[in-house]
Amino acid sequence: MKTAAISSELRARFAQASHALVLTGAGVSAESGVPTFRGGGNSAAWKGMPFDVISSAEMVQRNLPAVWEWFDYRRGILESLKPNPAHLEIAQWPKRFREFTLVTQNVDGLHQQAGSLNVVELHGNIWSARCVKCEFRSQIISGVAREDTCLECGERLRPDVVLFGEMLPPGAFEHAALKASQSDLCFVVGTSALVYPAASLPEIAKNSGAYLCEINPERTGLSSLCDEVINGPAGEIIPLFGEIIPQTISAGQT
Ligand code: BJW
Ligand code: ZN
């Protein structure tokens, strides 16, 4: 895959854009070895349960130990995995734009491991637990037994992730939607764009005049809305942007 994968139009836009937003999904971590949700692999089902059954608010009510088992298993996989060239290149992008916002649906923390700051995590983080009753949160540290009960009220802790039918963290989507509406360049990377409200962010960006680019080996329901679709793996395509000579002065990430 050569730089030719990026059109001259997109190259110019990347060099000149002032407000950029990137929305990532499971596909950006696929080349690190994290299974996607809908692309098959180990993660699509857990002990015969489809992931949307085990990763559901109802299962937290019904069988929290099973939900923990599923998330403990996934954290176990993550312990040995590293950010890939897509995460590493995206971590450099705040230097390329006056404003840069990284929004992820992923719970794996790999963007932060790659050096990205202020990542908007729409669906929470697998390295955090929260109380089922109060606001208490507890970080989960690799190799250290996680807390089972809330230190504030004694209730049970659950994974601090957003399951189907649950609300997103307060303000997270609103912040992302505002930044999407202000962006002049928007990338959608490695998401099937099936899960809302995350999937509405590219639509918001496009409706506000942003140039919309999708990077994904497969077409998605969003592809026809995009100004440009690059059908390829994020870990090969995204680093190619690092070769584009900037034409704007940097200022940081919001
Ligand atoms: C590569 C690649 C490579 C492979 N390089 N790419 C409007 C309409 C209809 C329904 C709704 C709606 N608004 C809300 C809903 C309900 C629901 C929803 O969206 N349902 C749809 C499925 C229809 N949404 C919610 O419930 C959300 N909450 C909410 O809206 O609250 C308000 C509310 C509450 C109550 C009632 C009503 C409203 C919450 C959604 C939470 C999603 N949670 C999960 C699980 C997190 C925990 C866990 O980790 O287990 O989040 S589901 C799962 O899907 C996970 C992901 O973040 C999310 C998105 O998946 P993603 O990232 O797109 O992954 P995949 O696997 O689908 O796709 C991977 C892609 O990568 C593919 O395209 C590959 O081709 C590609 N790829 N290799 C680049 N190398
Ligand atoms: Zn509590």
Residues 105-128, mean pLDDT to the nearest whole number: 98
User: Catalytic positions, please?
Assistant: 123
- pLDDT value, residue 3: 59
| Size (the chain), residues | 254
Query: 164 in ligand 1 pocket by Cβ < 6 Å?
Result: yes
Question: In this model, does residue 1 exceed pLDDT 80?
Answer: no
Tell how far CA 33 is from the center of its chain: 15
Q: Is 173 helix (H, G, I), strand (E, B) or coil?
A: helix
- What's the rounded Cα separation, in Å, for the pair 218 and 194? 13
Ligand nearest the Cα atom of residue 216: 1
Strands 185-189 and 211-215, bridge-based pairing: parallel
Top pLDDT among 41 and 244 is at 244
Q: In what order do the strands lie in the sheet with 120-121?
A: 120-121, 99-104, 19-24, 185-189, 211-215, 228-230
Query: 140 in ligand 1 pocket by Cβ < 6 Å?
Result: no
Q: Which residues contact 153 (CB under 8 A, 6 or more apart)?
A: 131, 133, 134, 136
- pLDDT value, residue 249: 46
